Structure 1
């Protein structure tokens, strides 16, 4: 049951000390969720109230089924843009038909995600390396900060998911800045930063929201043109089965697949980023697909549009100290209370206050320290981080993370096709054989013997590289060379191409008048050596468990040939 309902896992170990933190985090996220939900619904081309509908049952469902304890699920800007872009290409007449298609879209997105989870396709998350996640989250944080400038400046700034467009639009509108909005927003930013450094336990975000509402109401700041959240429509969504029509499905399946994959990648990348910062690992990729899919399907029954993890609200949830998904239920409770009773209160909340909360929260996700560490120690992975960062900034959030994943795969392919190839020598007065480049004068190198180690699986991508490197070292030894020993400890698999190449290479080395030995092959590799026919060219007596046995056999064949061969052969059969 805990695997099906992860809520049972953390609920059984829930501590009393968590309650206040979850309550504060949930209420804070809920306060942001109300205006954000309405704004995102408008981006999707829907009436504002549908953003609140998407903030109810999908969030509740995820709280029961989700494995990340920090992310905040609900309507998000990216999915809203994709909904608007996808449906904007269709000829839809009337608001009611548009809403009907959006609800069906949510159902389809949920079904796709659920099926992917059911068939255990969550392994896709394994291709999200830490440099990709760091680059993506840092760039997305910058974009979100810039997207809040319109509220901070109190002026209309055209939205975009590209850094340069957002910056250009903001500069063009800078002259229209409302000084009162700017003053309130900057004051909010300063208060949050100061109080967080002074005492993190003070719920400063909740405090400035209350102060903002009271300030506008008591001082009548509305007369100065300050942008407020405004009226919030009342009423809860009713249960309605989506009207699934064949023509809807035919029209919507491409955008549904895109939304399903993008939503999953957003949720996983945000969840893993917060896990890295929090030092805990709870996310189960396949269960996340099922949780998101079920959330979207149930949401469609209550007139919600597609949801996923929110970058800004997840950051707020983390920064305010949320411990479990109980915080999400508190957010939902606030949305419900707001819809039913508190709409007159929230209409006085300045948008600049919300902007200050979001800006400070997501700024903490810009990880400069990790980028510096990669620059110092791993330049190749630093390049991956920068490519992901710049792609996300200038091309788009979705494309950015996909480019990052592609670059990571290319780097992985490059590394496996050009793996570490070491020449070994005997450590003086020991049985150990180590890399001559690392141990220098401590190793003995023999002119008549070449001992090499290949630190990767031997497959079609690096078979040619292996052959080229081995023959290069053979040629470098010259006429004094009598035998070659391959230390195969690090070769965990040999595919058909690798086996064919190795067989021909052994034959070629034998034709040079040299002997060839294999030592240290693990069980699965020995199985391939026997099953692929390599052993027919190598011969059983030249397969050894340890490098020192191969060397001893080369020096004196009568000394260890029987023992070495027998042990190697028996182990290959057992393992």
Structure 2
């Protein structure tokens, strides 16, 4: 059933009538919690991406509002994420100096391209295309990205000034060469931040541990200015709402950014839809994947015009929405509005944040990204998928991250095609009849294997039990006709038994009434 056009253009009209004064109050409180969680994370993700701190806040405002209002999920809330931030950094840093105006401009153009790709997928109703990025690829990429991010933050934690590198291995080698230059004052600030954050998580789990840790570490530097004189602080910025930014669509830059934009777009969609489906299963909500894809694309199409870098679903903030009892996407809207209020009125406070404290907070975020129970479960369930996860993980360490995503997808498709190209056969012999029960479809990739099995059969009547064949393509039809004629020259028969009507129809199309294949119910 198609929805009226007004609901297609403005999907928030579907849930808007359910909003009451009570639900508004609940969503406002949940939004406040989400904003408190978003503040340190957004600033940290901006630094990971090589952007000035304020751009992390900008990415948590306009893109979040659009994704919440035009999305399908009640609880999904987006913004900058760790994995996407590191992909942005590795994709754009070879083209411009991180933090520079040119770098920011390129990141915003890349965001627009990724959003356009996402929106087109949703418009063409190809939302399920993201299913080709398997969970094992996402798991391996996330684990690898956590290691890459952690390595990238070690210079800030150690008080080092070193050039950024394109791969994790290169970063590690470069770091080892400058390790003797480390500033133990910076290490002390980072350790203090870690201890406060961990203690807060342990003793008061409901409080924003990251924010408290960063504030404590920064206060330590402020209280003892003589002892921590050389500690680097986050760059200050003028408190404003997200400024309008004109994008520069220079052809050469577009061509250079396009592969990374597609990789970022796919990664963002996989992350967002995985979180949305998980939350929908818990809240018993019916999710429209294509609408959610369009909403994510729209948020990244419009976001960069308001200085917002690429955003995607955030698991921690979305889970907080669900656990806090959010009744509508307005909780996400309130969260974005409160982040905007902080960007306007509290911007001077950011200039007092110690960079080693922020690096320590990012390390804790990286630790949270490492899903070791998921890795162990994957090893128990599927060795081939575990290999895909390992290959993706290794690719993130030795290749650029956007290339690692493609490598993981190709590895996953390789194992999938390997399984489907060798469908299972069960053999049963009954006198002159040899029964082959095929468990799988017959398509071009499986034709050679199925043909080999048929050629090894020795019965007078070679019967293929086809009840489990859901699909057969032209190559499969041609192969069956060829084998049927070969058996006819040997006074033998090829019989297809219990085939579905559409499979019989496809097989008979090639030669009509002269089809050499016999059929039985």
Task: Give 1:390 deviation, angstroms.
Answer: 0.5
Return the match for 1:398 from 396, 402, 416: 402
Return the match for 2:495 from 507, 510, 517: 517
How do 1:120-269 and structure 2 match up within 5 A?
120-197=125-202, 200-220=205-225, 223-239=228-244, 242=246, 248-269=249-270
State the match for 2:451 in structure 1. Answer: 467
Q: Conserved in 2, the CA contact under 8 Å of 1:423 and 1:453?
A: yes
Task: Give 1:512 deviation, angstroms.
Answer: 2.4
State the match for 1:551 in structure 2. Answer: none
Q: Conserved in 1, the CA contact under 8 Å of 2:264 and 2:402?
A: no
The 1-side partners of 2:270 and 2:419 are apart by: 24
Q: Conserved in 1, the CA contact under 8 Å of 2:421 and 2:445?
A: yes
Measured at CA, do residues 214 and 99 of structure 1 come closer, stay the same or move farther in structure 2, by a change above 3 Å?
Answer: closer
Q: Conserved in 1, the CA contact under 8 Å of 2:123 and 2:294?
A: yes
Point out which structure has higher relative CO (alpha carbons under 8 A, 6+ apart): 2
Q: Conserved in 2, the CA contact under 8 Å of 1:154 and 1:177?
A: yes
Backbone CA RMSD of aligned residues: 3.7
Q: Conserved in 2, the CA contact under 8 Å of 1:517 and 1:538?
A: no
State the match for 1:114 in structure 2. Answer: 119
The gaps in structure 2 that reach 5 residues or longer are 1-5
How do 1:559-570 and structure 2 match up within 5 A?
none
Q: Look up the SS of the partner of 1:364 in the other structure.
A: helix
Measured at CA, do residues 147 and 32 of structure 1 come closer, stay the same or move farther in structure 2, by a change above 3 Å?
Answer: same
Q: TM-score scaled by structure 2?
A: 0.81
How do 1:65-80 and structure 2 match up within 5 A?
65-67=70-72, 69-70=75-76, 72-74=78-80, 76-80=85-89
State the match for 2:417 in structure 1. Answer: 413
Task: Give 1:385 deviation, angstroms.
Answer: 1.1
Q: Conserved in 2, the CA contact under 8 Å of 1:215 and 1:221?
A: no
2:278 maps to 1:307: no
Q: Could you report, residue by residue, the CA deviation over 1:172-197 in whole angstroms, capped at 9, with x for unpaired residues?
A: 33333333432332333344445445
Task: Give 1:394 deviation, angstroms.
Answer: 1.4
The 2-side partners of 1:523 and 1:469 are apart by: 24
The 2-side partners of 1:137 and 1:505 are apart by: 48
Q: Could you report, residue by residue, the CA deviation over 1:313-365 in whole angstroms, capped at 9, with x for unpaired residues?
A: x3653676666665654554454334432233222222233223322233232
Return the match for 2:64 from 59, 68, 76: 59
**Range that drifts further, 4-13 or 361-370:** 4-13
Task: Give 1:108 deviation, angstroms.
Answer: 5.4
Q: Conserved in 2, the CA contact under 8 Å of 1:26 and 1:322?
A: no
The 2-side partners of 1:331 and 1:128 are apart by: 30
Task: Give 1:448 deviation, angstroms.
Answer: 2.7
Task: Give 1:259 deviation, angstroms.
Answer: 4.5
2:426 maps to 1:422: yes
State the match for 2:389 in structure 1. Answer: 385
The 2-side partners of 1:501 and 1:399 are apart by: 38
The gaps in structure 1 that reach 5 residues or longer are 89-94, 425-444, 475-480, 546-575
Q: Conserved in 1, the CA contact under 8 Å of 2:166 and 2:400?
A: yes
Larger radius of gyration: 1
Q: Could you report, residue by residue, the CA deviation over 1:418-462 in whole angstroms, capped at 9, with x for unpaired residues?
A: 1112214xxxxxxxxxxxxxxxxxxxx534321111222212222
State the match for 1:340 in structure 2. Answer: 344
Task: Give 1:210 deviation, angstroms.
Answer: 3.8
2:520 maps to 1:544: yes
Measured at CA, do residues 187 and 238 of structure 1 come closer, stay the same or move farther in structure 2, by a change above 3 Å?
Answer: closer
Q: Look up the SS of the partner of 1:120 in the other structure.
A: coil
State the match for 1:564 in structure 2. Answer: none
Q: How many correspondences in the alignment? A: 499
Q: Look up the SS of the partner of 1:146 in the other structure.
A: helix
Q: Could you report, residue by residue, the CA deviation over 1:466-489 in whole angstroms, capped at 9, with x for unpaired residues?
A: 121122132xxxxxx432221001
The 2-side partners of 1:407 and 1:81 are apart by: 22
Q: Look up the SS of the partner of 2:430 in the other structure.
A: coil
The 2-side partners of 1:296 and 1:276 are apart by: 20
**Range that drifts further, 331-340 or 376-385:** 331-340
The 2-side partners of 1:183 and 1:35 are apart by: 19
Task: Give 1:102 deviation, angstroms.
Answer: 7.0
Measured at CA, do residues 496 and 235 of structure 1 come closer, stay the same or move farther in structure 2, by a change above 3 Å?
Answer: closer
Q: Conserved in 2, the CA contact under 8 Å of 1:420 and 1:455?
A: yes
Measured at CA, do residues 418 and 226 of structure 1 come closer, stay the same or move farther in structure 2, by a change above 3 Å?
Answer: same
How do 1:519-538 and structure 2 match up within 5 A?
519-533=497-511, 536-538=514-516
Q: Look up the SS of the partner of 2:467 in the other structure.
A: coil
Task: Give 1:277 deviation, angstroms.
Answer: 7.2
Task: Give 1:20 deviation, angstroms.
Answer: 4.2
Task: Give 1:502 deviation, angstroms.
Answer: 1.0
Task: Give 1:526 deviation, angstroms.
Answer: 1.9
